Amino acid sequence: MIVKINDGKGSEITVSLFKKANALVQTKAVVTSFMPCLLGILFATYYYRSFHLANSLMITISVVAFHLAVNAHNQYKDYEHFRGKNSNNNILKNFSITPAQARTTIVGLTLFSMVIGLILVDRTGLPVLWVGMVSFAVGYFYSGGPYPISKTPFGELFSGLTMGYNITFLATYVNMYQLIDVSGLWYKTLIVAIPAVFTISDIMLANNIADRHEDPALGRKTIVYYWGKRGGILLWQVSFVLAYVGIIAAVVLAYLPKSTLLALLTVPIVWRNTRRFSKRPQKGTTFLYAIINAQLILAATVIGGGLALIL
C-alpha cells in the first residue's frame, strides 16, 4: 500500500505503508535486542548444557516485540516534544503518522509481548516475571512519565543494563530453569553480558553526542550535557574497549567457548568506525558507525561462540 507524506517543504511524496511502519517502530534497531537473546542462548547451551527451542523462540519474539513497542513509544513522545516544529526526530510528523496509529501500535505490541512473557512465566517460573516487570517499567519510563530517564545522565546506564543484561539473563534462564544448581547465575550472566551492556549503551551515548546541541532546548540533560563532547566521546571509546575485555573475561572463566575470541578480529574495523564518529559525530552521517560497531561486536561474539557448538 502506498501513502502520501509531507516532505517538510510544502510538497508531498509517496512512501509504502511498510516504510511508514518501519519509521515508527525502527525495525533496524531490533538487532540490539535480538543479539543479547542469542548471547544468553549461547551461554545456557555451552555452560549449562541446556537448551529449549520453544522457550528460546518465545523469549526472542517477546523481547523483539517489546523493543518495537518501546521504539514506537519513544517516537510518540518525541512527537509531543516537537509538536508544531520541524525536526528529523519528529517521525510522526515527517511520515504523517497519527497519534492514534502510534498508540494502537504501542499497545498492540506491548500486549503481544506480555502474553508471550506470561506463558514463559507459567513454563519456567517467577524470575521471568520479576525481570520482565523491571524491563517493562524501564521501557516506559525511558521516555514517559514526568521525569523520563532519557532526559537524565542515566539513560545509557538503564538502556545498557536493561537490554544488555536483562535480556541476556532472561534468554539464559528460560533455557536452564529446570537445573537444580543455578547458584551464581546473576553474576555469571553479568560477565557474559558485558559486551552487550557496553555496546548497547554506546548506541545511546552516540545518539546523545550527536544530539548535544538540540537536547538542552528539549530539557534533556544527558551525560553529554555534563561531560561535554570530549568527555562523551572518551567514554564512548572506552566502552568499546570494556566490551572486548568482557569477552576475554567470559572465555577465561570458561563461561563462553574459546572460539568466542574470534570476536577480537573485529577490533580494526571497530577502531576505524570509532575514529570516524569521534572526528565528526553527526546523526545523519557518522551515527551509523555506532550501530555497526555494536552489531559487529555482538554478532562476532555469538558466531564465534556458536562455532564451538557446531564443530
- Cα separation, 269 vs 264, in Å, equals 10
- Cα separation, 61 vs 164, in Å, equals 16
Cα 279-285-287 angle, rounded to 5 deg = 70
- Cα separation, 76 vs 91, in Å, equals 8
6 has which bridge partners?
Answer: 12
Query: What's the grid cell of residue 299?
Result: 554478532
Give the H or E element holding residue 9: none
Q: What percent of the chain lies above the pLDDT cut of 90?
A: 65
- Owning domain of residue 240: 16-310
> Total structural domains in the chain?
1
Question: Does 311 or 153 have the greater pLDDT score?
Answer: 153
Question: Does 19 or 12 have the greater pLDDT score?
Answer: 19
Are 27 and 151 a contacting pair, CB within 8 Å?
A: no
Question: Does 130 or 218 have the greater pLDDT score?
Answer: 130
Kindly state whether residue 143 falls inside one of the protein's structural domains: yes
Classify 110 in phi/psi space as left (phi over 0), alpha (psi -120 to 50) or beta: alpha
Kindly state whether residue 1 falls inside one of the protein's structural domains: no
Kindly state whether residue 6 falls inside one of the protein's structural domains: no
Kindly state whether residue 196 falls inside one of the protein's structural domains: yes
Instruction: Give the residue-averaged pLDDT of 191-215.
Output: 92
- Cα separation, 249 vs 194, in Å, equals 9
CB atoms within 10 A of CB 18: 10
Asked whether the predicted pLDDT for residue 6 surpasses 70, the reply is: no
Per-residue pLDDT, 11: 46
Are 5 and 12 a contacting pair, CB within 8 Å?
A: yes
**What is the pLDDT of the chain when averaged over all its residues?**
88
Kindly state whether residue 7 falls inside one of the protein's structural domains: no
Kindly state whether residue 5 falls inside one of the protein's structural domains: no
* pLDDT per residue as tens digits for the range 70-88: 888 888 887 776 665 555 5
Contacting residues for 212 by C-beta, under 8 A, at least 6 apart: 222, 224, 225, 229, 232
Maximum CA extent, the chain: 65
Asked whether the predicted pLDDT for residue 60 surpasses 60, the reply is: yes
Per-residue pLDDT, 41: 97
* pLDDT per residue as tens digits for the range 209-263: 988 888 887 788 999 999 999 999 999 999 999 999 999 999 999 999 999 999 9
4: helix, coil or strand? Answer: strand
Instruction: Give the residue-averaged pLDDT of 155-160.
Output: 92
Kindly state whether residue 8 falls inside one of the protein's structural domains: no
Contacting residues for 122 by C-beta, under 8 A, at least 6 apart: none
Q: If pLDDT is split at 50, 70 and 90, which confidence band does 146 have?
A: confident
CB atoms within 10 A of CB 20: 18
Per-residue pLDDT, 76: 80
What's the pTM value of the predicted model, to 2 decimals? 0.89
Are 236 and 205 a contacting pair, CB within 8 Å?
A: yes
CATH number at 42 reads 1.10.600
Per-residue pLDDT, 88: 59
* pLDDT per residue as tens digits for the range 90-112: 677 777 778 888 889 899 999 99
Per-residue pLDDT, 82: 64
For cell 562523551, the residue is 232
Per-residue pLDDT, 93: 72
Instruction: Give the residue-averaged pLDDT of 191-204.
Output: 95
* pLDDT per residue as tens digits for the range 287-303: 999 999 999 999 999 99
Per-residue pLDDT, 2: 46
The stretches of the chain forming alpha helices (DSSP H) are: 17-25, 31-47, 53-81, 91-94, 99-124, 127-141, 155-159, 167-176, 185-192, 194-210, 223-252, 267-279, 288-310
Kindly state whether residue 11 falls inside one of the protein's structural domains: no
